[in-house]
Amino acid sequence: MGRERSGNTLALDNVSLTIPTGRIFVLLGPNGSGKTTALKLISTVLLPDSGRVVVNDADTQTNASDVRRQVSFAVATERSFFPRLSARENLDFFAALDNVSRTGRDQRTEELLAATSLLDAADTLVMKFSSGMYQRLGLARALMKRPPVLLLDEPTRSLDPAAAAHFWALIRDLSGAGNTIVITSHNFHEALAVGNELAILSRGKVAGTRTLAAIPTVDALRAFYFETTSESDELLAAEYGGRH
């Protein structure tokens, strides 16, 4: 990924990652480590100051339109949607924006509303949505164009345990169907439960990588984290609220 600056801050410094097709790749690290910046680079929201980002042979700087056809970045904030439109109307609008064919669009919308447990709220104005509902609608929007690469930035931070479990089941199904999924997280338990590959970012650099099958327990993952970063137990506890 090379280097990427945010203002006068070097957000990522000579980061080099290869993400295998059809795998769930987890970026783990504290706030400010460059996780979200990495997703923005993959999605062409940002372009690197140096180096290259390549998605299935398409370079984000020279062939950004091809990259955008292949990649969806699930964005789940109030500003991501039209507040006075319903969930169904928002999905229809963004489907048209992504050039999803009108044929089958309605069926696809209903499938995604069902998959994200939003059918009961399909005709509710999204201005009335909770943060967890926005999170699920953001996923539905990202999946509308059936992207081979899906980017998720802390996707379960606003979900209750039952909704999170349903969400991860959907993500595993997508991976099983051949989708490549890149997830940022703070959560050791989730990383180990859903991921195939792991990279730990710290201060804009790759501190370590590992195949998660080689890490047997959450304690082992936590130990690997501290072996590869200078983060202290106290700092992690303060930042994550003790969610280890």
pLDDT at site 5: 52
Share of the chain above pLDDT 70, in %: 90
Give the residue-averaged pLDDT of 68-90: 91
Give the residue-averaged pLDDT of 198-222: 93
- Assign a CATH topology to domain 2-56+148-240: Rossmann fold (3.40.50)
pLDDT in tens, 104-162: 899 999 999 999 999 999 999 999 999 889 999 999 999 999 999 999 999 988 888 88
Taken as a whole, the chain contains a residue count of 244
Question: Rounded CA gap, 168 and 177, in Å?
Answer: 14
Question: Rounded CA gap, 19 and 26, in Å?
Answer: 10
Q: Which of 136, 145, 240, 151 lies closest to 188, judged by CA? A: 240
Question: Rounded CA gap, 147 and 179, in Å?
Answer: 8
Label each residue of 55-123 as H, E or C. Answer: ECCEECCCCHHHHHHHEEEECCCHHHCCCCCEHHHHHHHHHHHCCCCCCCHHHHHHHHHHHCCCHHHCC
Give the residue-averaged pLDDT of 190-212: 93
CA distances from 145 to 171, 178, 184 (A): 16, 15, 22
Question: Rounded CA gap, 53 and 12, in Å?
Answer: 13
Cβ-based burial of 1 (10 A; exposed 0-12, middle 13-18, buried ≥19)? buried
Structure pTM? 0.87
As given in the structure block, the two tokens for residue 68 are: 């955008």
Please state the domain extents for the chain.
Answer: 2-56+148-240, 81-146
- List CB contacts of 162: < 8 A, sequence separation 6 or more: none
CB of 155 closer than 8 Å to CB of 183: yes
E strand spans, 130-204: 149-153, 180-185, 197-202
